[in-house]
């Protein structure tokens, strides 16, 4: 269709142009649409569209006022996003609002702030997705204050309205989610517990809404390393969901996937794998074959198989997830990039670097176009690419890209964020691989300080940095300093993760390697023996099993010399 716009300075000029056109075109105008007579967008997209037939072709002439034309720019991003959506009956509404570019997100937040066409209820979710945590917190706290005032007034009449209590509960959950996204887990936990008490009082202990809050609480407890209570709450969440909604409801699949993640963190890999498989079976019964949720569950199941060292099986599932993503959401959707990155990861683990790089490059291009260069997911993909370069020994490429990642993390998240600390930690590892120890040590120290400030001294992230720093010191022959860091890392991991966790095995392996280098063969052998017991959790195909066996065999050879 041929399309042209006529920009008019005044309403009278627009009327004059319209009258002249109708006189010229006469009967060859099958449609005229007056955009001034309805509210499509609050500022832009107010025009008169005239569709004449010219030489047998339907055309469009847009008569626009300059005042509105200049206001269209911001909302054009939303209009363009909506127009280009790859929508099918297999895509649920929440997928249409995920992974918005910065431009579209900014405009949607602005519209929701004005409650345009009743969209104000989306504001908190949009602000959280945009990383506008302070703004989201301010709005929710205002809502909580208003509801509490209402409840206070009602209490004087010995009456607590049900709806006001439920609004208070929902607001607490929303604020908890805001805190959870900022890793403020203590604050989130308190809010979820408060909401849970309200919902249990109103609905009773076995209502699906109670299960939803229990699920939120379990996720936060898991993030804090409180696996015992998280498991207890997750079991209750699953029991309520099954009883209230039945064993084939998609909400149960979500609960099972969350439980699987919790079990996986405790290295209960066989139980976790069973949960993933049950979740996938439910979704394959409920949803069409190319539904995005099935793709997500395939990713989850593949990740579990990958953690057990079953890379070939994981690769096949990741390929299926990519195929579903392309069919359900289109080749440029940001969620497709997740599946591409996952597939690239398992390929690189198998040494298929060329294929992995091709997939990562495609994922990165999708995220840059869909989300923007400053989005945290885009930055993460660049970090994965740097790691891929490092695996291949392309240290110059890896170093340049890693420097960009560190700078971007600091610009977007600030210098006290754990993801910035993780980037520093990864950069230190890259420098260690190049024997640039003097540069690596300050990064380890800075990363450690951030993690300790955010999480406290006994967190698994703290243990990871201690382990890496110990390796830097060991490579320089600073054995006593390295030993102290390895032992502290081991103590934390045993305390937080349990004595049979694979990360404990990593710490034991490193400490055993240190003892072997010092000629303390008996001490090293005792640690390697313990590593072998831990490795049984991973299964015989996992590469850590071979690593431990090789290390112990090397120790035996050295003892024999």
pLDDT of 78: 59
- What six digits make up the tokens of 86? 């790859």
pLDDT of 346: 96
> Is 369 among the domain residues?
no
Average pLDDT on 41-70 reads: 73
Looking from the CA of 389 toward its CB, the CA atoms found within 13 Å total 20
Q: Which segment of 61-75, 100-114, 159-173, 503-517 scores lowest on mean pLDDT? A: 61-75
> Is 537 among the domain residues?
yes
Band (39; pLDDT cuts 50, 70, 90): very low
> Is 35 among the domain residues?
yes
**What are the residues whose beta carbons fall under 8 Å from the beta carbon of 180, sequence distance 6 or more?**
188, 216, 219, 220, 223
pLDDT of 89: 42
pLDDT in tens, 409-461: 999 889 999 999 999 999 999 999 999 999 999 999 999 999 999 889 998 89
> Is 546 among the domain residues?
yes
> Is 375 among the domain residues?
no
pLDDT at 466 exceeding the cut of 80: yes
Average pLDDT on 73-88 reads: 53
Place of tokens 């937040």: 109
Residues 153 and 44 both lie in one domain: no
Among candidate residues 231, 246, 261, the one where a domain is terminated:
246
pLDDT at 43 exceeding the cut of 50: no
What's the domain range around 503? 498-561
pLDDT of 127: 85
pLDDT at 326 exceeding the cut of 70: yes
pLDDT at 502 exceeding the cut of 70: yes
Residues 125 and 7 both lie in one domain: no
The DSSP secondary structure of 117-148, one letter per residue, reads GGGGGGHHHHHHHTT-HHHHHHHHHHHHHHHH
> Is 471 among the domain residues?
no
Residues 59 and 138 both lie in one domain: no
pLDDT of 79: 56
Task: Give the residue with greater pLDDT, 377 vs 465.
Answer: 465
* Domains contained in the chain, number: 3
pTM for the full model?
Answer: 0.74
Residues 63 and 124 both lie in one domain: no
E-assigned strand segments in 369-412: none
Q: How much of the chain, in percent, has pLDDT values that exceed 70?
A: 89
Helix, strand, coil percent content, the chain, rounded in steps of 5: 75, 5, 20
- What six digits make up the tokens of 393? 């020994």
Band (90; pLDDT cuts 50, 70, 90): very low
Residues 156 and 210 both lie in one domain: yes
> Is 503 among the domain residues?
yes
pLDDT in tens, 154-194: 665 555 688 889 999 999 999 999 999 888 899 999 999 99
Among candidate residues 191, 226, 246, the one where a domain is terminated:
246
pLDDT of 509: 92
Average pLDDT on 5-28 reads: 82
Q: What is the CATH number of the domain that holds 185?
A: 1.25.40.10
pLDDT at 105 exceeding the cut of 70: yes
User: If you average pLDDT over every residue of the chain, what do you get?
Assistant: 86
Among candidate residues 246, 265, 285, the one where a domain is terminated:
246
pLDDT of 308: 84
pLDDT of 67: 65
DSSP class of residue 41 equals S
Q: Which segment of 13-27, 72-86, 337-351, 396-410 scores lowest on mean pLDDT? A: 72-86
pLDDT of 64: 82
Residues 174 and 73 both lie in one domain: no
pLDDT in tens, 245-284: 999 998 999 999 999 999 988 878 889 999 999 999 999 9
Q: How much of the chain, in percent, has pLDDT values that exceed 90?
A: 52
DSSP class of residue 340 equals H
pLDDT of 40: 43
Q: What is the CATH number of the domain that holds 556?
A: 1.25.40
Q: Which segment of 99-108, 139-148, 303-312, 378-387 scores lowest on mean pLDDT? A: 99-108
> Is 196 among the domain residues?
yes
Is 511 strand, coil or helix?
helix
Q: Which segment of 33-37, 153-157, 369-373 scores lowest on mean pLDDT? A: 153-157
């Amino acid at each position: 269709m041929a399309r042209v716009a006529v920009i008019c300075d005044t309403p009278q000029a627009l009327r004059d142009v319209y009258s002249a056109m109708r006189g010229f075109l006469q009967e060859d105008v099958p449609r005229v649409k007056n955009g001034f007579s309805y509210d499509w967008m609050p500022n832009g997209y107010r025009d008169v569209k005239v569709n004449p037939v010219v030489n047998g072709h339907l055309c469009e002439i847009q008569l626009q006022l300059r005042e509105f034309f200049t206001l269209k720019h911001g909302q054009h991003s939303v209009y363009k996003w909506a127009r280009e959506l790859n929508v099918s009956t297999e895509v649920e509404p929440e997928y249409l609002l995920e992974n918005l570019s910065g431009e579209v997100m900014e405009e949607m937040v602005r519209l929701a702030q004005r409650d345009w066409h009743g969209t104000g209820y989306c504001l908190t979710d949009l602000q959280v997705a945009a990383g506008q945590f302070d703004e989201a917190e301010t709005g929710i706290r205002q809502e909580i204050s208003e509801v509490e005032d209402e409840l206070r007034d009602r209490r004087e009449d010995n009456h607590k309205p049900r709806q006001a209590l439920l609004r208070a509960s929902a607001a607490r959950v929303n604020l908890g989610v805001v805190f959870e996204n900022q890793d403020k887990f203590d604050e989130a936990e308190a809010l979820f517990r408060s909401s849970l008490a309200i919902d249990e009082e109103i609905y009773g202990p076995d209502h699906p809404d109670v299960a939803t809050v229990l699920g939120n609480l379990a996720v936060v407890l898991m993030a804090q390393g409180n696996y015992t209570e998280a498991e207890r709450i997750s079991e209750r969440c699953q029991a309520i969901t099954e009883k209230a909604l039945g064993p084939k409801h998609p909400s149960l699949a979500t609960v099972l996937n969350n439980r699987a993640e919790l079990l996986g963190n405790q290295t209960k890999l066989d139980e976790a794998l069973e949960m993933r498989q049950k979740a996938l079976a439910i979704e394959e019964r409920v949803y069409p074959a190319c539904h995005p949720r099935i793709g997500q569950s395939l990713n989850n199941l593949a990740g579990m198989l990958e953690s057990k060292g079953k890379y070939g099986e994981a690769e096949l599932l990741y390929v299926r997830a990519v195929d579903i993503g392309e069919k359900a959401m289109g080749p440029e959707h940001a969620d497709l990039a997740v599946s591409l990155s996952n597939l690239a990861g398992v390929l690189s683990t198998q040494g298929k670097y060329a294929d992995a790089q091709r997939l990562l490059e495609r994922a990165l291009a999708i995220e840059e176009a869909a989300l923007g260069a400053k989005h945290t997911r885009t930055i993460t993909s660049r970090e994965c690419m740097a790691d891929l370069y490092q695996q291949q020994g392309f240290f110059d490429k890896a170093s340049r890209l890693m420097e960009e990642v560190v700078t971007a993390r600091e610009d977007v998240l600030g210098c006290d964020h754990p993801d910035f600390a993780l980037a520093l930690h990864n950069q230190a590892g890259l420098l260690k691989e190049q024997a640039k120890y003097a540069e690596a040590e300050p990064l380890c120290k800075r990363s450690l300080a951030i993690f300790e400030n955010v999480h406290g001294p006994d967190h698994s992230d703290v243990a990871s940095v201690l382990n890496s720093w110990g390796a830097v010191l060991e490579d320089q022959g600073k054995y006593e300093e390295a030993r102290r860091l390895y032992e502290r890392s081991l103590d934390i991991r045993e305390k937080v993760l349990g004595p049979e966790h694979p990360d404990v095995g990593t710490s034991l392996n490193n400490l055993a390697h240190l003892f072997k280098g010092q000629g303390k063969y008996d001490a090293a052998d005792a640690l390697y023996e313990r590593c072998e017991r831990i490795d049984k959790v991973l299964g015989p195909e996992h590469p850590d099993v071979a690593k431990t066996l090789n290390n112990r065999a090397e120790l035996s050879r050295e003892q024999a010399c």
